[in-house]
């Protein structure tokens, strides 16, 4: 009997091994195969698998994504309908803080260009911080969609520090044009990978805030990158 469960929180090969070992230790389960890219665990068993049992067996880091149509009698796939807005709440809060900070830094002597530079600088510094917290996990997640990281894995370890450098360049107003061009190139390449994931409707985790906040890949990831590139273009040609 085959059952497919979608599981969030898996970001690396270590996560894959942990989930396979935990679920494989349950009675009645013959085999467990985890697809890290799709966030799925395929379970082969002699009898129907209890949703609650799988949920209790998984470590706290991982959670089942289930569907309201789940039915044990028909052994349908388990998927959880979690609100995208709820899942992306940490991202919206962080972007809100960055937006407010960039306004406050410039409200006395308002200059839209300076506000955008501060926004971009703070964006890079804050986002890189979350990536560096678990740089190995970030690298594994980033490799799932970034075209360069797929071909050159070490790029995933270097990328957070590229963001740190760009953030500092924007905040101290050093070689702004170079930083703007690099922003368009770096985020443009990543956005190509994000677009492919969204078009193919793959279910993977977004590495934009590292692995700590466990965000899904959604249109919001595309929008945040597009926003940064639009600001970069507007500042170059202003």
- Per DSSP, what are the bridge partners of residue 35? 40
For residues 213 and 133, the answer to whether their CB atoms sit within 8 Å is no
The string over 173-196, giving b where at least 16 C-beta atoms fall within 10 Å of a residue's C-beta and e elsewhere, is eeebeebbebbbebbeebbebbee
Q: How far apart are CA 217 and CA 201, in angstroms?
A: 10
Contacts of 105-113 with C-beta under 8 Å, sequence gap 24+, read 113/235, 113/238
Other Cβ atoms less than 10 A from the Cβ of 25: the count is 10
CATH 3.30.70.100 fits 2-65, yes or no: yes
pLDDT tens digits along 70-103: 444 334 443 334 456 677 788 889 999 999 999 9
Summarize the confidence of residues 48-60 as an average pLDDT: 81
Q: Quick check: 3 and 77 in contact, CB under 8 A?
A: yes
Cα 118 → chain centroid: 23
d(CA 56, CA 184): 45
Structure tokens at 138: 């970030």
Average confidence score pLDDT of the chain: 84
In this structure, are residues 205 and 212 in contact, taking their beta carbons and an 8 Å threshold? no
Please state whether beta strands 40-45 and 215-216 pair in parallel, antiparallel, or not at all (unpaired): unpaired
User: For the residues 38-56, what does the mean pLDDT come to?
Assistant: 80
Least confident stretch, 80-84, 138-142, 162-166: 80-84
Query: Residue 86: which residues within 8 A CB-CB, separation 6 or more?
Result: none
- Of the spans 16-25, 37-46, 184-193, which averages the highest pLDDT? 184-193
pLDDT confidence bin for 48, thresholds 50/70/90: confident
Q: Where are the domains of the chain?
A: 2-65, 84-236
104 pLDDT tier (thresholds 50, 70, 90): very high
Q: How many CA atoms lie within 13 A of 134 on its CB side?
A: 15
């Amino acid at each position: 009997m085959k059952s497919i469960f979608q599981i969030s929180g898996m970001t690396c090969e270590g996560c894959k091994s942990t989930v396979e070992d935990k679920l494989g230790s349950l009675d009645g389960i013959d085999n467990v195969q985890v697809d890290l890219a799709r966030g799925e665990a395929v379970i082969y068993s002699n009898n129907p698998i209890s949703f609650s049992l799988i949920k209790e067996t998984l470590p706290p880091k991982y959670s089942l994504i289930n569907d309201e149509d789940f039915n044990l009698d028909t052994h349908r796939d388990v998927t959880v309908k979690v609100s995208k807005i709820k899942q992306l709440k940490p991202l919206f809060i962080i972007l809100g803080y960055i937006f407010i900070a960039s306004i406050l830094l410039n409200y006395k002597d308002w200059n839209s260009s300076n506000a955008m530079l501060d926004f971009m600088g703070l964006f890079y510094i804050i986002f890189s911080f979350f990536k560096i917290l678990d740089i190995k996990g970030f690298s594994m997640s980033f490799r799932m969609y970034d075209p360069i990281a797929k071909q050159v894995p070490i790029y995933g370890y270097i990328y957070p520090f590229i963001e740190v450098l760009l953030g500092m360049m924007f905040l101290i107003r050093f070689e702004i044009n170079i930083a703007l061009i690099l922003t368009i190139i770096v985020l443009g390449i990543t956005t190509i990978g994000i677009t492919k994931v969204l078009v193919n409707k793959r279910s993977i985790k977004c590495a934009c805030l590292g692995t700590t906040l466990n965000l899904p890949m959604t249109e919001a990831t595309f929008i945040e990158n597009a926003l940064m590139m639009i600001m970069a273009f507007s500042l170059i040609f202003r």
